Homo-oligomer: A and B are copies of this chain.
Amino acid sequence: MRTVNPLKLEARRREILAAAQACFREKGFHGTSIAEICSAAQISAGGLYRYFASKEEIIAAMAEDERELVSGMLHEVAEAEDFFSAIESLFERFSTSFCDRSHVALAAELLAEAARNPAFATIARQTEMAMVADIETMIRAGQASGQVDPALDAAEAATMLLAAADGLGMRMVILGGFAPEEAGKALRNFVFRYLRAPLPEPGETRERTHVRRVEEG
């Protein structure tokens, strides 16, 4: 008698997911058929349905995978001892992985789907909350160290930061003639201006520890 091997099962599941992701990136959710995923994952249609109950579930699982990946990365970044190095590391990741056309296309599609489908909305919300929480932590650290304006609401600022990065990423991909470095510079510029602690009022003698001014324009 064959015992079910849950590890092998999980491994196969991840293989399918990876294949699906590759397809989705290339052709989008609506442009990818189950048959194509089956081909890519070297599995039969019937077989695939032992791992996922529907196409929607595949998309959702993939989205959740992505969520864990991004969340993990962010969490890691947020644990950097210093606010400054954390934010720098963040920029780097942004330029590195967010520049990919297919990644942004997928994100946009996921967002569009989430706007209609509660199941996806839940996943998106969870991702968002986790990310906001991590960035919020970073910002609070920055506030504690005097690098970030203490008057800012950390949660709001975190959301804002994500929103800006998101919007910029999409513009980068859709507008085409828009280099990743430019986007990176614009984002960095925005972050520092938005978060910066105000200059000390005349007479005050506070250390200038706040986020350094960046060359603009």
Contacts and interface: CB of A to CB of B under 8 A. Distances in A.
- Size band of the interface chain A makes with B: 35 or more
A151 interface: yes
Q: By DSSP majority rule, is chain A's interface helix, strand, loop, or mixed?
A: helix
A174 B173 CA distance: 21
Contact of A193 (B105, B166, B193): B193
Contact of A168 (B28, B163, B173, B202): B163
B156 A189 contact: yes
Interface in A91-134: 101, 104-105, 108-109, 111-112, 114-116, 121, 124-125, 128
A217 B151 contact: yes
A115 B121 contact: no
Nearest to A124: B174
A73 interface: no
A198 B199 CA distance: 8
A186 B159 CA distance: 9
Interface in A13-31: 27-28, 30-31
Contacts of A108: 108, 111-112, 115
A40 B30 CA distance: 24
A216 B128 CA distance: 22
Given A153-B217, A160-B186, 17 more contacts: A28-B112, A30-B30, A31-B116, A105-B115, A105-B116, A111-B174, A121-B176, A128-B175, A156-B186, A156-B189, A156-B217, A159-B186, A160-B164, A167-B168, A193-B193, A194-B194, A199-B201
Interface of A: 27-28, 30-31, 101, 104-105, 108-109, 111-112, 114-116, 121, 124-125, 128, 149, 151-153, 156, 159-160, 162-168, 170-171, 173-176, 182, 186, 189-190, 193-194, 196, 198-199, 201-203, 216-217
